[in-house]
Amino acid sequence: MTTFLHGGHVHVNGIRQHYLRYGGSDADRAARDPVIIVPGITSPAITWGFVGERFGTGFDTYILDVRGRGLSSAEAGLDYGLDAQARDVATFAEALGLRRYSVVGHSMGARIGVRAAAGRPAGLARLVMVDPPVSGPGRRPYPAQLPWYVDSIRLAQQGIDVEGMRRFCPTWTDAQLRLRAEWLHTCNEDAVVRSFEDFHRDDIHADMPRVAVPTLLVTAGRGDVVRAEEVAEIRALLPDLLVSHVAGAGHMIPWDDEAGFYAALGDFLGAPLTQ
């Protein structure tokens, strides 16, 4: 039985923000804080639908299309910077009347979550950073390469099938590849390039001491995005940080080890997601 309720749009922070909603606010979910999931650099909300289905069993869950992706605003000249993305999250929660909520951000979405949390928006109760790029001024570069994103987007704009997408994501299932092939064309190239370049320009470490809510860091055992010494640095900036590690997963943790991802969250959000 699906937990998907509907998709929708709101006008917030000067843009059309699209989202998918799972679970609802009835039953046991009513006693728990809603969850806003913020995906990564080329992940429209629909590609996180399988995660939303599970989250929806325990939480009122909203998956965002980050500006420049999916069905959210993506026009030329739009501000695709981190500050604008962070304001999108806070104003989205406000527009929907979420008095308390948790943010779960993956990769770029984790960086958005940190920047949003540093602004201390009313209602934000918890933050989960899932394998965030820790690049920034004077730091090692993000291990992925920009052409990997740009080339795949351009092929998707022309029309790409499962086998064509497999070259970029060789470990994914056919279903995962099919969904990415269908939706990747909605990722605005300017937005993706700006976000990738900002991985190396924005200093999210400077935001961390201003984060005043309980925070969980989830890291992947493969992919080299967050190393042990970088976890230690984040701990120093966030002394009450909780850390979970999914040893067998690469950067796309829920795709590589879905059960391990849910187990890594434990009951941090207010209830476990494992079955």
User: For 46-67, what is each residue's pLDDT tens digit?
Assistant: 999 999 999 999 999 999 999 9
What is the per-residue pLDDT for 195? Answer: 98
Domains of the chain: 4-140+203-265 (3.40.50.1820)
List the structure tokens of 126: 């918890």
**Type of residue numbered 176:** Q
- Give Cβ neighbours of residue 229 (< 8 Å, ≥ 6 apart): none
- Higher-pLDDT residue of 150 and 27 is 150
Q: Annotate 155-208 with DSSP letters as a single string.
A: HHHH---HHHHHTT-TTS-HHHHHHHHHHGGGS-HHHHHHHHHHHTT--GGGTG
Whether pTM exceeds 0.75: yes
Supply the mean pLDDT for the chain.
Answer: 97
The pLDDT confidence band at residue 275, using thresholds 50, 70 and 90, is low
CA 123, distance to chain mean position in Å, is 19
User: For 216-235, what is each residue's pLDDT tens digit?
Assistant: 999 999 989 999 999 999 99
Q: Provide mean pLDDT across the span 147-157.
A: 97
For 213, half-sphere exposure in the C-beta direction (CA atoms, 13 angstrom radius) is 26
Residue 153: in which H helix or E strand, if any?
helix 146-158
The pLDDT confidence band at residue 274, using thresholds 50, 70 and 90, is confident
Q: Provide mean pLDDT across the span 89-111.
A: 98
User: For 167-212, what is each residue's pLDDT tens digit?
Assistant: 999 999 999 999 999 999 999 999 999 999 999 999 999 999 999 9
d(CA 19, CA 198) in angstroms, rounded, equals: 24
Q: Which of 31, 38, 52 is nearest to 113 (CA)?
A: 38
3-class DSSP state for residue 141?
coil
d(CA 120, CA 211) in angstroms, rounded, equals: 7
| Greatest Cα pair distance in the chain | 49
Sign for the CA dihedral angle at 138, 139, 140, 141 comes to: negative
Q: Which residues of 212-235 are buried (b: 16+ CB within 10 A; e: fewer)?
A: eeebbbbbbeebebbeeebbeebe
d(CA 32, CA 185) in angstroms, rounded, equals: 35
Q: Indicate whether 1 pLDDT > 90.
A: no
Q: Annotate 46-58 with DSSP letters as a single string.
A: GGGHHHHHHHTTT
Q: Provide mean pLDDT across the span 152-174.
A: 96
User: For 224-272, what is each residue's pLDDT tens digit?
Assistant: 999 999 999 999 999 999 999 999 999 999 999 999 999 999 999 999 9
Q: Indicate whether 106 pLDDT > 90.
A: yes
Q: Strand 124-130 and strand 35-38: pairing?
A: unpaired
Q: Provide mean pLDDT across the span 5-23.
A: 98
